[in-house]
Amino acid sequence: MSDKVSRRQFAALAGLSAAAIANPLDGADAKPAAAASRDSGFPTGFVWGTATSSYQVEGAVNEGGRGGSIWDKFVRIPGKIEDGSTGDRANEHFHRYKEDIALIKDLGCKAYRFSIAWPRVFPDGDGKPNPNGLDFYNRLVDELLRNGIEPWATLYHWDLPQSLQDRFGGWRSTETCKIFGDYAAYVAEHLADRVKNVFTLNESGRFVQFGYGLGIDAPGMTLPQREVNQVRHNSALAHGIAVQAVRAHGRHGTRVGPAENIDVCVPAIDTPEHVVAAEIALREMNAGYLNVIMTGQYTDAFLKYAGADAPKYTAAELKIISSPVDFLGLNIYAPQNYVVPSAEGAGFMPLPIPKSFPHMSSDWLRIAPETMYWVPKLAAKIWKTDAIYITENGTSGDDVVTPDGKIYDTDRIMYLRNYLAQLQRATAEGVPVRGYFLWSLMDNFEWVFGLSKRFGLYHVNFDTQVRTPKLSASFYRNVIAKNAAGA
């Protein structure tokens, strides 16, 4: 599967080319954070957390009244999952959540980002809610709080109820967007008394293109580009509707925002001209989702390049899409584009990635720590936000269990140490990054790669469900204790 297209290789899939871009950005820098010095560590109050998602860890897909999701169906299509596994059992987090929360506490994390399985709460997506489904998340949230861990909930991490796919074509229809708003309102009404931070949709850039354009992810469709662009617009609309629903039905002070796998654009060289080129590229390569959410409009370059394939929309929809958010969540792993200035009216030109570029055990996961500096720095300027959270960052590894029963994942430690050093560099310069959620708490079902790719701080034996801390767990514990990258 990785030979076909990488997990987050979005440069060629973003719907734009360098030739379509024309104008450099205007605008002042966003309000700086209260920075620590580069050598002293992260700012006081920096949020340290870890993350999982419902389908990847919960298991129990036929328990507690849960309905079917598009991933339950997709994993049963021969050849779609690299190792033939499913999320039916996964990590048994549905039953072992107390054990897993103890692992989070042992790391010293004060925050946990999890997702709510929409079909567990509404088996058909809409209609009558399932009280047993909500009860699980009530118990999860209460257990987190008892252990001094703040719950950060994601409303949608790809497990769309299959009923909505069957009835409306999933995200192809604005009817799904409206139903998502009802679901968001219900969750806010019942959990926002304890859950103060809510993410709307996770990684629209991934689930739209891979699920509806390339057929690699659920629901496995290969639509023409015009329809893919419309699905992406609908996902942005769903985000805006959910923001309004959380505002209307949550408690006062509940914060809400997106969590997106931003198309990473990095200046090839740190010169003013290259930085401007990267700034233009970051805006335009993310014009189809993040930029319209943050600004309420599609860029001229995006619409020009899309041409007849541009999404259809109304001014009222753009107003909903751009409902003000409280923070911007960014999933950052690897660069999609190194860019240089262009003298041909484009403003920037993406460079080809050499075959010799170093990467981790996943081919797509190129090692480029500077992405953790440039992306939040440029994003804060482009979209004038004063609260950014790194909602995912981490790496897969071979993770060999040695004869002494331990996992000495020095490769993961190398990756994290260097990325966190660049993040600390950013916060020292006043870039408003307020927190970091490491992906992932433990090895889990890694979508099209099944159980073959391991991203966790804790090793999981999927036969026995035994969790074993890797050396990287000790590393991250030390980072959190010191509030500094040089652990």
Statement: residue 138 has pLDDT above 90 = yes
Statement: residue 5 has pLDDT above 60 = no
Give the pLDDT of residue 18: 41
Tell which residue, 295, 259, 257, has the closest CA to residue 382. Answer: 295
Give the pLDDT of residue 37: 54
Please check if 260 is assigned to a binding site: no
Q: Give CA–CA dist 13/212, Å, rounded.
A: 12
C-beta separation of 48 from 435 below 8 A: yes
Comparing 7 with 298, the larger pLDDT belongs to 298
Statement: residue 3 has pLDDT above 50 = no
Statement: residue 19 has pLDDT above 60 = no
Mean pLDDT of 450-472: 98
Mean pLDDT of 299-310: 95
How many Cβ atoms are within 10 Å of 427's Cβ, its own excluded?
27
Q: List for the chain the helix, strand, coil content (%; round to 5).
A: 40, 15, 45
- CA dist list (Å): 140 to 147, 255, 302: 11, 20, 42
Residue 82 appears among annotated catalytic residues = no
Question: What average pLDDT does the structure give for the chain?
Answer: 93
Mean pLDDT of 66-76: 98
Please check if 157 is assigned to a binding site: yes
Which residues fall within 8 angstroms of residue 380, CB to CB, at 6 or more apart? Answer: 29, 30, 386, 388, 431, 432
Q: Strands 111-115 and 47-51: what pairing?
A: parallel
Give the pLDDT of residue 34: 47
Please state which of the four CATH numbers 3.40.50.970, 3.20.20.80, 1.50.10.20, 3.40.50.720 is assigned to the domain occupying 47-482: 3.20.20.80
C-beta separation of 111 from 152 below 8 A: yes
Please check if 459 is assigned to a binding site: no
- CA dist list (Å): 298 to 284, 302, 307, 347: 9, 7, 12, 18
Marked catalytic residue, from 58, 150, 203, 279: 203
How many Cβ atoms are within 10 Å of 279's Cβ, its own excluded?
24
Task: Grade residue 15 by pLDDT with cuts at 50, 70 and 90.
Answer: very low
Give the pLDDT of residue 33: 43
Please write the tens of the pLDDT for every residue from 251-275. 999 999 999 999 999 999 999 999 9
For the chain, what's the residue count? 487
Domain boundaries, the chain: 47-482
Please check if 71 is assigned to a binding site: no
Q: Give CA–CA dist 443/448, Å, rounded.
A: 14
Please check if 171 is assigned to a binding site: no
Which residues fall within 8 angstroms of residue 446, CB to CB, at 6 or more apart? Answer: 56, 396, 452, 453, 454, 455
Which residues fall within 8 angstroms of residue 271, CB to CB, at 6 or more apart? Answer: none
Marked catalytic residue, from 279, 284, 317, 392: 392
DSSP string, 150-204: EEEEEEESS--BHHHHHHH-GGGSHHHHHHHHHHHHHHHHHHTTT--EEEEEE-H
Statement: residue 346 has pLDDT above 80 = no
C-beta separation of 149 from 110 below 8 A: yes
Please check if 374 is assigned to a binding site: no
Give the pLDDT of residue 4: 42
Which residues fall within 8 angstroms of residue 363, CB to CB, at 6 or more apart? Answer: 2, 3, 6
Kindly state the percentage of the chain with pLDDT values over 90.
91
Please write the tens of the pLDDT for every residue from 188-244. 999 999 999 999 999 999 999 999 999 999 999 999 999 999 999 999 999 999 999
Instruction: State whether residue 391 is helix, strand or coil.
Output: strand
Statement: residue 288 has pLDDT above 50 = yes
Task: Grade residue 38 by pLDDT with cuts at 50, 70 and 90.
Answer: low
Instruction: State whether residue 63 is helix, strand or coil.
Output: coil
Burial 459-473 (b: 16+ CB within 10 A, else e): bbebeebebbbbebb
Residue 203 appears among annotated catalytic residues = yes
Mean pLDDT of 458-467: 98
Mean pLDDT of 63-75: 98
Please check if 147 is assigned to a binding site: no
Statement: residue 20 has pLDDT above 70 = no
Please write the tens of the pLDDT for every residue from 438-449. 999 999 999 999
